[in-house]
Amino acid sequence: MRTIREEREGGRRAGALPSTLPPFQAFLDEHRTVVYRFLLAAVGSAEADDCFQETFLSALRAYPRLRDGSNLRGWILTIASRKVVDAARARNRRPLAIAEPAELQDGRSRETGRGVEPATDADDSLWRAVATLPPRQRVAVAHRFVLDLPYAAIAAAMGSTQEAARANVYQGLRALRERLEPDDGT
């Protein structure tokens, strides 16, 4: 005789993975690069590692309860988006540093697909401007231009509508243009 819970779960043992889900290590291997690229763009290199660990730790905890493996990329990017918002909240509670440490002022670099290249002032000013965006706009802009996601995927990752995702990208870009356009004195 089966219990109600066993009936609901289709006879699956509690904690057993549904047959549609790959092992967690395979899932991690498949999605880690995309998630890390997104987090680098959304929170910067200083916080990306912590957010990455928090993202996959949360995913590991929830993975056994996951019922449908049809959109694992959207699921993990949703978790990562929420970790970005959490990091922004935590950052707002911390005291601000007055100046960069000396070792960061010398020999700056950025990671690219071709290895590490010197950072340019344009890169620095762009990413400083992106970092000042509100969390939802920053996440939407990163999803759109770092991961090249369509608005439907951005909406799914952010837990919003396509219109809201489109509006967040638009408002984020408008704010970036205002911050980065040279002042012509008019």
Q: What is the pLDDT of residues 47-82, one digit of tens each?
A: 899 999 999 999 999 999 988 888 899 999 999 999
Residue 100 lies in a domain: no
Q: What is the pLDDT of residues 118-171, one digit of tens each?
A: 455 566 778 788 888 998 999 899 888 888 889 999 998 888 999 999 999 999
Burial of 38 per CB tally in 10 Å (0-12, 13-18, 19+): buried
Query: Domain with 35 in it: what CATH number?
Result: 1.20.140
Structural domain containing residue 42: 21-92+121-180
Q: Would you give the DSSP letter of residue 71?
A: T
Contact 70, 20 (CB under 8 A): yes
Number of folded domains that form the chain:
1
